[in-house]
Amino acid sequence: MNLKATVGRKHKTGADLDIMPVMNLFLILVPFLLVTATFVELAVLDISLPELQNTARTAQQQQAQERKPAVLNLLAIRAGGIELKSPTFTFGPIPRKAEGYDYDLLKSYLAQVKQKFPDASDVVISPEDNIRYQVVIDVMDNCRVAGFPNVSISG
């Protein structure tokens, strides 16, 4: 047996790598990602969430808290309507209509509070668990329009 002949026969030439499927994947994937990326819109809402624990406050924070007016407006968003609870005013509930919540009546109630206490800027929103996110955002927007920029959410 000839050693040279057997070594030469087992040596095969390399096959070319087929990259066409990978190129097809990129041809489909890149435009798809570009199209879907334009539909993602982010918005930032400034809210203050309740604290998890009581931390020691500095003297400046305590003084700032003392200077704020002692008006607490609580908006309870329920499936049947919105209730505005204020220590100085008595408001009736704002019933939910078939087409949605009555935001104009909410703004008029908040305007009455703002007229009596022009320095008041805080509202605490307490939505029920089954309230849609868009309703909470709409209530927050109406509070800001009525002159209450500091909106907090309570659970």
* CATH number where 80 lies: 3.30.420
Range of the domain at 87: 73-153
The DSSP-derived string for 72-123 is: -EEEEEETTEEEEE-SS-B---EE-BTTB--HHHHHHHHHHHHHH-TT--EE
**84 close to 110: Cβ distance less than 8 angstroms:** yes
pLDDT digits (tens, 9 = 90+) for 54-98: 555 555 666 655 555 556 678 888 888 998 887 777 788 888 888
- Domain assignment present for residue 42? The answer is no
pTM of the model: 0.57
Domain count, the chain: 1
The predicted pLDDT at position 50 comes to: 64
